[in-house]
Amino acid sequence: MLFNIHTHSEHSHDAQAKIAELCEKALAEGLVGFAVTDHCDCECAANPKAFTSLTDSFEDCQKWKARYQGRLVIACGVEIGEALYDPAFAEKVIASRPWDVVLGSVHAVRVPDWEMPFSLIDFSDFSDDFIRQYLHVYFDDLKEMAKTQDYDVLCHLTVPLRYICGKFHRTVDLSEYDGKIDEILKTVIKRHKTLEINTSGCTAERSLLMPDEAILDRYLAFGGNNLSVGSDAHVANRLTNGLRQAAAMLKRKGIDELTYYLNRSPVFCSIE
Ligand SMILES: [Zn+2]
Ligand SMILES: [Zn+2]
């Protein structure tokens, strides 16, 4: 009984999935449902499509939500990236439609000259010291986002590692950031938000969860108990990628309930 809190449709600039395909895949895989959470990249606020692509996503999602009613729970959401770059735009987007769920994400950080999304940066030639500084800014930005911005689910904590370590094979000692990470976790708990376990880095060979088990253990130790799983699928055949691995890991830790959102209110479903 899994609900996928995080997917992208063709209304995201970097995704291809039609919502109809996501629906059929979700039924075939036996999901309770999923949220469509197309990108709102606040650094692109000046581009008129930044706003209209989201209203298009919302209208499209509403249509499929109605068609699959009774068979699938479909949440119409949005993934706000870099709210700190343009908080007014983030607020405008959130207020513009009755979203079911708002994801809070950081995909780019305020490092001078390197403010583009980290997915576009080649980290292979940077010094270890630059990467350390870069990650400090990532956790600082995420911490500020977590504390000051409007969201329901804090997404893919530690996601730069997917590129820095996964793609460019650089070594990172995460313990240096423990203090900042703990502050983010405590903020999520204090503000009654939900922490996403993002499975987009999982492959057949390895299960790279974001955040990893060590961080999840600290979240639980601090009293956190609102968790979602999200595959961050950009194509329909990755809809359930890693979700069952994540759910099995959560069950081993004694967690038997996941959180999703409708009308921006939490709904709890048991992991079976
Ligand atoms: Zn994201
Ligand atoms: Zn995403």
Summarize pLDDT for 142-170 with one digit per residue, the tens: 999 999 999 999 999 999 999 999 899 99
Q: What residues have their beta carbon closer than 5 A to ion ligand 2?
A: 79, 232
CA 227 to chain centre: 12
- Taking the CA of 82 as reference, the closest ligand is 1
CA 154 / ligand 1 centre spacing (Å): 10
Radius of gyration of the chain (CA): 17
CA 173 / ligand 2 centre spacing (Å): 25
Q: What is the pLDDT of residue 148?
A: 98
End-to-end CA distance of the chain: 5
Q: What is the pLDDT of residue 57?
A: 98
Could you report the per-residue pLDDT of 32-71, keeping only the tens digit for each? 999 999 999 998 999 989 999 999 999 999 999 999 999 9
CA 201 / ligand 1 centre spacing (Å): 12
- Taking the CA of 12 as reference, the closest ligand is 2
- Taking the CA of 107 as reference, the closest ligand is 1
- Taking the CA of 234 as reference, the closest ligand is 2
CA 232 / ligand 1 centre spacing (Å): 7
Domain residue limits at 214: 3-270
Q: What residues have their beta carbon closer than 5 A to ion ligand 1?
A: 105
Number of domains observed in the structure of the chain: 1
What percent of the chain is modeled with pLDDT above 90? 94
CA 42 / ligand 1 centre spacing (Å): 12
CATH number for the domain that contains residue 228:
3.20.20.140
CA 196 / ligand 1 centre spacing (Å): 11
Reply yes or no on whether the pLDDT at 205 is more than 90. no
CA 154 / ligand 2 centre spacing (Å): 11
pTM above 0.85, yes or no: yes
CA 43 / ligand 2 centre spacing (Å): 15
Q: Would you place residue 203 in the very low, low, confident or very high pLDDT band (cuts 50, 70, 90)?
A: confident
Q: Average pLDDT, stretch 230-256?
A: 95
